[in-house]
Homo-oligomer: A and B are copies of this chain.
Amino acid sequence: MTTIKDSVHDYIELDPTAEALLDTAAMQRLRTIRQLSTVQLVYPSANHTRFEHSLGVYHLASRAVDRLEVDEPLAERLRAAALVHDVGHGPFGHQTEAAIERHIGRHHDEIEWLLADSEIGAVLENHGLEPEAVAATVDGRGPLGELVSGSLDVDRMDYLVRDAHHTGVPYGTIDHARLLYALRIVDGELALEAGNVATAESALIARTLMNATVYRHHVSRIAGAMLDRASERLLADGHVNPDRFARLTDAELLATFADYEPTADMATRIRERDLYKRAIWARRQDVPDRFAGLEYDRTRALEREIADFAGVDPSAVIVDSPSEPSSPESRARLVVDGELQRLEERSSLVAGLDACAREIWRLGVYAPPAVVDDVREAAADVLTVDPVIAP
């Protein structure tokens, strides 16, 4: 049996299907997609890729199906789905997914199209697996699909620990070995054995702390917003076909930006870490409801309005008003006194963590350093917020 050394899980053993899947070009491409995309601009060690993360998720899925004594071939389907679950990611992962969805109407978890008639699909079929069933599992559907995508999934168990390991922050509080020991199948659904409230909470805590210090760091949000606007321009102008776009690597996207005049500046700025700065950074309570969680078209219209006020080019203003945070982990099921309960029903901490997630929400308006003061003033007027940078 082939084994691979991993910096998080040590040795990972591959079954023959996994080995064949790894040899496909689509899986090898994940070596070029950084797991945390532009977070490395803040945490320079965060260069781990979706390839090693995929191996980690596969490893945890293997251990889970062993413990849960899931029979073959379902076990094999779950392992295969865990391994390929990120194969639909575009360049820079989550940071281009909105642009891709706008232009091809498909989320990265919907990979049925990708598995059909493809090298991966052929490998799956050669090993007796149906591509559609694997694709459904990746999307959290079908028997035990929630193990791959759900409130207790192995995807999150891996990425929280791996992201903490590579950024260097001490917030990877997931005790994944204990979570795996505590997993049970009750009426066909995953649940945690009694006595594991703290273990389940710790996953939620980890994500809350990682959001505050890593995932929602303003430098990463700025870089992400810049990537989105440049991607939109490429796609809206028809400069790149959306399907081809979705298969680019991180570096190829930047190269594509660089080669097209309207996006060339963004490429240079990201490569040289000469990013837009915050003109506005406002807490939820300081933002009128009508400006929180904006639709994309409305966002772009506001950008033009602010740019107009500030007398700058529309591309010099980025408005970033994310939707309210969600916490799927709080829906995790626990066996309590023989009954299934949701974590949120059992844990007073969940409400606190939800509040905490809302507290780190910020409305951002970003602009090139040279015009950031003008944009601040204009944005404060248009959005009726204070022209300040909240801590």
Q: What chain B residues lie within 8 Å of A11 (beta carbons)?
A: 177-178, 181
| CB-CB contacts below 8 Å: A179-224 with B | 181, 194-195, 197-198, 201-202, 205, 208-209, 212-213
Do A201 and B356 touch (CB < 8 A)?
yes
Task: Report the bound CA distance from A170 to B49 in whole Å.
Answer: 21
| CB-CB contacts below 8 Å: A249-273 with B | 249-252, 255, 271-273
Residue A308 is within 8 A (CB to CB) of chain B in the complex: no
A: contact size bracket: 35 or more
Do A171 and B202 touch (CB < 8 A)?
yes
Residue A349 is within 8 A (CB to CB) of chain B in the complex: yes
Residue A384 is within 8 A (CB to CB) of chain B in the complex: no
Task: Report the bound CA distance from A251 to B250 in whole Å.
Answer: 9
Residue A4 is within 8 A (CB to CB) of chain B in the complex: yes
Residue A23 is within 8 A (CB to CB) of chain B in the complex: yes
Task: Report the bound CA distance from A351 to B350 in whole Å.
Answer: 11
| CB-CB contacts below 8 Å: A316-364 with B | 336-337, 347-353, 355-356, 358-360
Do A49 and B55 touch (CB < 8 A)?
no
Task: Report the bound CA distance from A56 to B274 in whole Å.
Answer: 22
Q: What chain B residues lie within 8 Å of A194 (beta carbons)?
A: 391
Q: What chain B residues lie within 8 Å of A273 (beta carbons)?
A: 23, 28
Residue A301 is within 8 A (CB to CB) of chain B in the complex: no
Q: What chain B residues lie within 8 Å of A351 (beta carbons)?
A: 352, 355
Do B48 and A52 touch (CB < 8 A)?
no
